Amino acid sequence: MTPAPRTASRRALELVAEHDLPWIDDLLRQVHALVGKPWRDAVAILLDTPSSARPRLRVAAIDAMRFLLIPPREALRGTHVRRALLGAPTLDPLARAARIDQTATSLRTSPEHLMQILWTDLAKQRVVELGRTLTAREIAAEANVRLIQRIIGRCFELRLLVRGDATAIVRAATVRGLLATLTTDHSLGAPPIVGADPVTELAISGPLTVFHRTTVYGRTLCALVRHLSTCRSFVLDARCDLGYGPTVFHIESPVILPPAPEERSATSTERRFEKDLRKLAPAWTVERTPSAYILRQGAHRWWVEIIGYWTAEYLTAKLASHTGNVILCIDAARSLAPDALPAEARIVRYEGHVPVKDIVAILDRKLDEGPEPRGEVAEERGLRLDGYPA
C-alpha cells in the first residue's frame, strides 16, 4: 500500500442525509408531472427549478431517480428502429410520414410507438415512466451510493474500519478479488475490551495504484459500496486525487444506504475447488472462512487463499503476513502490474479452476517434514484460525 502523503487535505464527504428528504420529495412530485417526456428534457427542468438543495446533491438525487425508474427493456430497441427507418434525409412531410408508416408496419408497431423508442437506447432519451413507487429515502440511498462511488473510483487507497461483525463486507471484498488486507483490533494498537464489539480494518488498494485493467478494477471496487449497509458501524477514509491535489475523503456511519444485494454463497471457482479438494484429499478437513480456507490433518494446518486481482507487491505482503503454512492460488488472467512473481514455491497459478492436484502435492511433501512449530499460526497477527478477528 502506498502511504498517504503528508500534504493531503482531509475533508468529510457530503452525503444525502435525513434533513434532505423533504426536497427529494419535492423532486419526486415534479417527476410525476414529467411522465412521458424524455429524461433529457426532464433533467433540464428539474435542474432549473429553484431548490434549497446543494447542487451536487440534487444532481446525484436526479441521477439516482433516473436509475431507479429504468423501465423494462423494449422488445424493439432503438438501434433496430433506426436501422429500419433512417436512410437518405426526407424533407417532404408526406414522404416522411409514409416512411414512418411503412417502417411501423414492418416492425408490427404503431407510428407513435416507433417514434417514441427511436432513441431510447440512449439513457437521457428514454421517457420518464413511473413503473414503481419510489420514496425519498430510496432515492437518497441510491444517491449516496453514487456519491461514494465517484470518490473511490478515483482513489489510491481506502481504509474501512468496521466495528462489530464484518463477515459480510469481508466476504464481499474477497468474492470480488480486491487487493485487500485484513487487520483486527489485536493489531490496531489497543488490547481488546471485554464485552466490546470487535474492530476490523480493511485496507484496499484503489484503481489509481494499479497499472493494468484500471477501469475494470475500479468498477469492481465501486460495487463494494452497495455492501456497506451490512456494517452496523463503519468509518471509511479514501485517499483520492480528483484533479485538485490529494485529498482524504472521510465517511462515517450512520449513512442512508440501500439494502445490500444478496451475495453468492460461493463462486463457481470456489465450488469446484471444494469439490476437487474433498475428492483428492479426503484425509484433510476443510474449513471455510470469509476470506480463505483452513486445511487440517492432525497437527498440520494450512491457510489456502484463492486470490482474484493481484500484483507481485500484494502477494509478497500476503506471504509476509503469515508465519505458518500458506498457499496462495492466483488467477493468471487478473494481474494488475507487470512485475515478476515473488520467488515462492507455494504460489499456485490457475486459469478457470484451481489445480487442486498441485495443492495436494504441496500438502503431501510437507507431511513428511512434521507439523509447523507451535505458535507459527495466524493468531500471532491478530487473526483466529478461522480467518476472522481473534
Query: pLDDT by residue (tens digit) across 211-229?
Result: 778 889 999 999 999 999 9
pLDDT digits (tens, 9 = 90+) for 34-89: 988 888 888 899 988 888 888 999 999 999 998 888 765 555 566 666 666 676 66
- Domains of the chain, residue spans: 78-124, 149-252, 268-381
d(CA 190, CA 163): 14
pLDDT(1) > 70: no
Residue 126 burial (C-beta neighbours within 10 Å; 0-12, 13-18, 19+): buried
pLDDT at 344: 67
Whole-model pTM: value is 0.75
Which amino acid belongs to residue 255? V
Q: What is the pLDDT of residue 375?
A: 41
pLDDT number for residue 124: 65
Does this chain's domain 149-252 share its CATH topology with 268-381?
no
The answer to whether 264 touches 175, Cβ cutoff 8 Å, is: yes
Please give the CATH architecture assigned to the domain spanning 268-381: 3-Layer(aba) Sandwich (3.40)
- pLDDT, tens digit (0-9, with 9 covering 90-100), for 237-267: 999 887 777 889 999 989 999 999 887 777 8
What superfamily in CATH does domain 149-252 come from? ACT domain (3.30.70.260)
Where residue 95 falls among pLDDT bands split at 50, 70, 90? confident
CA nearest 240: which of 143, 149, 335?
Answer: 149
- Residues near 369 by beta carbon (within 8 Å), at least 6 away in sequence: none
Q: Average pLDDT, stretch 118-127?
A: 66
> What pLDDT score does 138 carry?
94
